[in-house]
Homo-oligomer: A and B are copies of this chain.
Amino acid sequence: MKDKVIGIGIVSDLTGLTERQIRYYEEKQLIFPGRSKGGARKYSFEDVDRLKEINDKLRDGFHTFELRKPGRLCSE
């Protein structure tokens, strides 16, 4: 379930999110996909669930920087 083996196209199908959204969440450090030799992003099923959750939260009014994993412990 933690194997990073799913391509972004399938993840898009699975989550209903656009590839743009998925890449943006990575840019904002909310998700950390693996990469194939060629550089293609690879996700796990856990990542898929996490992506759905992120999108839900965003629709609830949260901002990307509020959804980082750790929670705090960033600057102290």
Contact = CB atoms under 8 A, between A and B. Distances in A.
A72 to B, nearest CB: 34
Task: Please classify how large the interface on chain A is, using the bins under 10, 10 to 19, 20 to 34, 35 or more.
Answer: 10 to 19
Contacts of A36: 9-10
Contacts of A10: 5, 36, 42
A67 interface: no
A67 B45 CA distance: 30
A7 interface: yes
B6 A6 contact: yes
Given A3-B45, A10-B42, 8 more contacts: A5-B5, A5-B6, A5-B10, A5-B14, A6-B6, A7-B7, A9-B36, A10-B36
